[in-house]
Amino acid sequence: MIGVLSNLMIPLLVLVVIGYGIKKKVAVYDVFVDGAKESFELAFTLFPCMLGMLLGVNLLLKCGILDVIFEWTTPFFEFLHFPVQLLPMAFLRSVSGSTTLAMMNQFFAEYGPDSFIGRLASVIQGSSDTTLYVLTLYFGSIGVVKSKYALKAGLIADFMGIVASIIVVQLFFG
């Protein structure tokens, strides 16, 4: 019953929108086509921002500087009882959601979803955001060039989310 209802939700929503448009005497199809045209323009506006961010992420991942940083900081994180396997995920969470999701799936396969590492990876994934991606995409789309306060606030929020993740997972599952 729920499966059938969930499969019908989107078609029903579309029918409600079309019905409402007809009731308000709006040319629904023409408005849809105009919206689709605007979305192509937006996609072309966002493409350079996305390309720049993806280039920066790939350079960061491929140049090897992360390995050096993780090597230097491993003793500190071992002292804090933070699994060093999660360092790349914690560091890259602000940059790329799909990369950290793939890392989390790898942790699930290797350690199990109910392991301390699996649980901590899950909570980190849910308690932080892809700040650099969001700022690049949204600010790039509307032409904001001075984003330093938003960047600081977003990165601090991500850091605090990761710290809170560590504390909560150690309290409940440690």
Do residues 77 and 91 lie in contact, with contact meaning Cβ atoms separated by under 8 Å?
Answer: no
Range of weakest confidence among 8-12, 16-20, 41-45, 94-98 = 41-45
Cα end-to-end distance, the chain, whole Å: 40
Residue 97: closest CA among 127, 140, 138, 52: 127
Gyration radius (Cα) of the chain, Å: 22
Q: Give percent of the chain above pLDDT 70.
A: 100
Q: What distance in Å separates the CA atoms of residue 137 and residue 45, rounded to the nearest whole number?
A: 10
**What are the residue boundaries of the structural domains of the chain, listed by start?**
1-45, 64-173
The pLDDT-based confidence of 161 (bands split at 50, 70, 90) is very high
Given this model, what pLDDT does residue 120 score?
93
Distances (CA, A) of 94 to 57, 152, 159: 11, 12, 9
Do residues 130 and 93 lie in contact, with contact meaning Cβ atoms separated by under 8 Å?
Answer: yes
Tokens 């790329």 sit on residue: 96
Distances (CA, A) of 71 to 67, 110, 111: 6, 21, 22
The pLDDT-based confidence of 23 (bands split at 50, 70, 90) is very high
Helices (H) and strands (E) in the chain, counts: 9, 0
Write the pLDDT tens digit of every residue in 69-119: 888 988 988 888 888 889 888 888 888 788 889 999 999 999 999 999 999
Mean pLDDT score, 45-55: 77
Q: What distance in Å separates the CA atoms of residue 24 and residue 47, rounded to the nearest whole number?
A: 36
